[in-house]
Each structure stands twice: as structure tokens, then as C-alpha cells.
Chain A
Amino acid sequence: MNTFRNGKFNLSGESLTDNFELLVKALDASISGIIITDNNQPDNPIVYCNKAFEKISGYQRSEIIGHNCRFLQKDDRAQPARQKLSDCIKIGSDCLVEIRNYRKNGDLFWNELYMSPVKDKSGHITHFIGVQNDVTDRKKAEQDLRQQKDLMEKKIEERTAELRDSEAFLSSIIQTVRESLLVLDPQFNVISANGHFLKTFKVSSEETVNKHLYELGNHQWDIPQLKELLVKILPTNNPVVDFEVEHDFPHIGRKLMLLNAYRVELEGQYKDQILLAIEDITDRREIERRKDDFLSIASHELKTPLTTIKGYIQALQRMVSSEAGERFKTTLDKVAVYVDRLNNLIAELLDVSRIQSGKIELHKTPFNFDAMIGETIEAMQTSTPSHHFILKGSTNSLIEGDESHLIQVVNNLLSNAVKYSPESKEIFIHLSRVSEYVKVSVTDHGLGISIEDQKKVFERFFRVGDVQERFPGMGIGLYICDQIIKNHKGTLWVDSKKGEGSTFSFTLPIGEGQANGN
């Protein structure tokens, strides 16, 4: 030690005492707590502590002098750091430990303790010097950090498990769905195929996965329409929905398929992969066709005797002599009305079937809208003497549409208005032009429809509950009207108040250049 030479302190002080005091002041100025214990005395008592030690521990020097250091641990004895300390004391080596100590008031503080033995010339340990630093804040930060880390790891574990779960769940769904699914890489190589694909197209996973789509099963997927979908349509229209492809497969026969394709656009490992869902609609189409055929035949067969009946009734009406009684005439007229109604019901049944299978055929030609409305009302007026139809307004428009179907709509609205207003005698029809649309409103002052039922009257086979008993019907008229108007890109709606009557309105777009403006 440079400051202690030839038995003298070699500081700047005049005397040994001066220099000694200077050293003591230096020890007291340290922010680390310093203690010295005497190893020559039993139980290694503390013989010195500096100011910082008093400050860190909360004990006064007078309270601890002569004590062994262990009081600092209070009852917290089973600390690994204590074992390390006592091992080092035994072998006389220095050591650095972090140990839980307790202040006089009982508060825990973390003590970073550097303990070094002092030896005499013979190597015998005379003293131990302990240098203490309160590292509670650091330990707490470390602990917090560790806790955060643990928490994070736990969360990651949970999330990973969740992900694995949902991946397994997803894959079980993909394997279970009754739709064929393929995942393709950007070069159209198959990355995966689900069970339904393998089953439907009678192939194994080995001969499918990692193979090029067009080369699958002896090039049976080398379909021009499919190529067009993948190469031409998908790159600009993502996703492609319900793309119909018909193809004759060598072993399984002709298949009608609906293809839905989606290219992953999200950045990441799946980018540009293509999901291809193949729905086999061969059977469904066949069933639809058969249903359609059945209804066509049924309707034809029902109409044939009806034609005969109607023909005879019309012949009878002409044969009735002027002397015949009014009762005879009106009875005959009524028969004619109900034959027409039966005919309309048959036509509606066929219409519903066609609309459902999307096969309603519209023959659109331009026609004079107001004339159509006028003639339809006139015909209805002739067969309905019970009510008075009052037409107001005009559209002066040519409409591009299926006139016979639109007549059907107007007829339906008019006959509904009559049917549901037995007490009221007037039906109002209003025509107007609204922007680039024509608008028709049919108003009656009859039963009216409650708010809840208003939403449902356009649904198939819906009948307003209390109306069913008094006014039987199938509940398809308005559904067909709605579909026809939708097919013409117009809207059909109802405004009504229960007990006050209803107004059914529809709009139809006037095609560009069709409005003649007269």
C-alpha cells in the first residue's frame, strides 16, 4: 500500500493522527457502506462501520458494534448467498454476493456485498472488510424485467398453442367441407389438396401434392376455361366468384363445376398463393333441370283442359241470347273470372320455379310505358266492376323491358289492391317520372299492412297471418313482382298503415336515350 510506508501514513497530514482522521473522513464520505469485522475475536464481531453503512442499514454504530453481521438478514437465513459467504470466510477468499438484508425498521434492501479478508504476514486472516451497496432499485428493475419476460413467454406460449389449435381446427374444417379445395403456388403447383378434392376426383394425395395443376391425373385439369380463369381473369379480378366450368373427366365423367379462386395479396409467406375452391354442381343442376321440366310439363298438362274449359265458356258467353236472365250471365262471367285466376296460379307456380333457378327469361324490347299501364288498367276495369280505377299522371317514356312480365306486375298490384279493399271502391294509380326513372304507385284504402309484415310481403310463400283466413292465396304474387322489377333494375316497395290502406310503388330505369320527353 503506497500510503502506508515505513510504518507511517504517507498522506499530506502532519501527524499520524491527521492522516488517520483524513482516512476516516474518506471512509465516511463513501456512498458504499463499509464494515470491518475482527476475525481474531469470537463470532467475528463488527469493529467498524462508516456513515454510509448507518444510512443504508438504519442502525447507529453504537447499536451494532460488537455484533456479528448476521443480524442484517434477520430471519431470512436460508439464502444461497449466505452459504457462499460462509464458504469464502472459511477458505479466506474474497467474494461478491447479492444478499437480502433488512433495515432496522424491517424494510428489505438488496445488499451487493463485496467481502474481502485481511491477512497478516503469516497468512492468518485477521479481519474481514465488507463493502455494501444498496442495489434494491436495480434488483427490483431486474425482477420486474424477469417477470415481464416470464409473462411474455407465457403469453407467447399461449398464443402459439392457440395458433396451433386454430390451425388444427382450420385444417379439420378444410378436410371436412364438402367442397374441393386446392392451394396453388404462383406457378400453379399444388401445395395442398383437401380430402373432398381427392375423393371427388378419385386421386391420391401423392399424385396431387407438389404436382403442377395442369399435369394432374394425366392432364385432366388442363382445361382451357380454367387456364383462362387463372391466367386472364384472376390477376385483374381478385377474387373470382362462381366461375362455371364444364369438363369431361376421363374416368369420372362430365362435371359441372363452380370455381371460386382467390389470390393471397397479403404480404408474407402466403403471398401470391392461390386458393381454388371447386364446387361440383353437376347433380344440383340436374335436379334443377328435372324440377323445371316437371313444372313445365305439369303446367302444360294443367293448362290443356283449362284451355278447353275457357274456350267453351267463351263460346257459351257468345251463345247466351239476349233473353237469358241476368243471373245466368253473371254466373257465367264469374266462372270465366275463376278460370282466369286458376290459369294465373299455374303461371305463377312456373314463374317461381324459374326465378329460383335464375332462369326467368326476360325479352326486353322498348315499349310505350303509359300505353301499357292504360291498357292493363282498362282490362282490369272491365273484369272488375266492383271497383273504380283512377289513373293520374303520366311518364311519356319508352321503357326497355319485358312488357308481358311488367303487365303481370301491374295486374298483380291492381288485383291485390282490389282483393284487400273489399269495403273501399276506389283504386288510385299514379304515374310520374322521377329523375331517370318512371314511377308507378297503386293506392288502395283497404286493410293495410302492419310495419312488421311490410318487410315480409315480398318474401316467397309469406302470407299475412290474419289475412290468410279471409283471403286465401299462395303468397307468391308479390315475390314474383319483386323479382321481375329487380330483374329490370328497379325497386318495388310498400307504404302502408294498418286499417288505412296500402300504396305499392315501383320504379324502372328509363334507358339512355329512351325518354322521348313529349
Chain B
Amino acid sequence: MEIKKILVCDDDEGILDMLALILEETGHEILLENNSMNVLSIIETQSPDLILLDLWMPVISGDQLLKSIRANSDMHDLPVIVISASRDGRKIAQQAGASAYIAKPFDYQELIDSVDACLSGDITHMSNTI
């Protein structure tokens, strides 16, 4: 299996730790970031293959960040899975151009499947139906 780079950005350290534990099992390289301000530069320097992105974060929200990614010609087709506890998260994620959406708290298998699907290129954007 080809080892890919997954960047996880969430302002909650507990979530980051937990996601690190779960995603370790996939065998991919996991980058953790709790400050959304750093994400764009990390993408530029580290070139992750997939981003897991929280929505409600201080200073720059996940959807703002996602819109910037989609507007940037160097990274616009980067797969981004939005993962949020917000009630309106699905809609916001869809509008911002997410590849997939996972509601918190999530199901282990759903997360793994979604990561696999995005990394293999099966999913490029969210379907319109919920």
C-alpha cells in the first residue's frame, strides 16, 4: 500500500489525539494541526494527500479555509473531508466544496471508509442528496 499524508486540523486537542490514534491504523502518515491559520502553509510545504477539517475554529473557520483551498489553483482539487459537530455542518461543508462530510460523533468505519474513498479518488465532491 502506498503511504499517503493526511493532515488533520481541529482546534480541540482531545479530538486530534483521538483521530491520531484511529488514523494510525490506516498506516498513513498523519499530520496534526490545531491552528487553522497554519493550514495553507502546511499544504504548501508538506503537500498532504487528504485533509480532515473541523468547521468551528477560531480566527479562520473550516469553511473559510476550505473556500480558500478551492480558490487556490495549486490545491483546489485536494480532497477535504469536513468533520463537524455543527447541526448545519453538512450544508456548510457542501456549500464550501467539501469532498465528504462526517458528523461528530462519528462511526469508526464510516471515517475509515471515507478516508479510503477520498484517497483512492472515488469521491471528489459531496453528492447533493443527504
**Chain A residues packing against B (C-beta within 8 Å):** 296, 299-300, 303-312, 314-315, 317-318, 339, 343, 350, 361, 363, 365, 367, 403-404
Contact = CB atoms under 8 A, between A and B. Distances in A.
B54 to A, nearest CB: 9
24 contacts: A300-B56, A303-B104, A303-B105, A304-B104, A305-B14, A306-B104, A306-B105, A307-B105, A311-B18, A311-B21, A311-B22, A311-B105, A312-B18, A314-B22, A314-B107, A314-B108, A315-B18, A315-B21, A315-B108, A317-B108, A343-B105, A350-B87, A361-B88, A365-B130
B122 to A, nearest CB: 21
B105 A339 contact: yes
B25 interface: yes
Interface of B: 12, 14-15, 17-19, 21-22, 25, 56, 85-88, 104-108, 129-130
A296 B86 contact: yes
A239 to B, nearest CB: 35
A307 B22 CA distance: 12
Nearest to B12: A304
A318 B21 CA distance: 12
Contact of A310 (B56, B87, B105): B105
A308 B18 contact: yes
Nearest to A404: B130
Contacts of A310: 105-106
Closest 5 CB pairs of A and B: A303-B85, A314-B108, A311-B18, A310-B105, A307-B104
A305 B15 CA distance: 8
Contacts of A343: 105
Contacts of B106: 307, 310-311
Contacts of A309: 105
A301 B17 CA distance: 17
A69 to B, nearest CB: 107
Chain A interface SS verdict (over half): helix
A405 to B, nearest CB: 10
Contacts of A296: 86-87
A300 B85 contact: yes
B38 to A, nearest CB: 20
A66 B17 CA distance: 139
Given A296-B87, A303-B105, A315 B15 contact: no
A312 B85 CA distance: 17
B86 A308 contact: no
A403 B130 contact: yes
Contacts of A299: 85, 87
Given A296-B87, A299-B85, A304-B85, A311 B19 contact: yes
Most buried by B among A299, A304, A339: A304
Nearest to A300: B85
A259 to B, nearest CB: 30
B10 to A, nearest CB: 9
B32 to A, nearest CB: 14
A411 to B, nearest CB: 15
A200 B12 CA distance: 47
Given A312-B21, A315-B21, A318-B108, 7 more contacts: A300-B56, A304-B104, A306-B105, A307-B15, A308-B18, A343-B105, A365-B129
Contacts of A308: 12, 14-15, 17-18
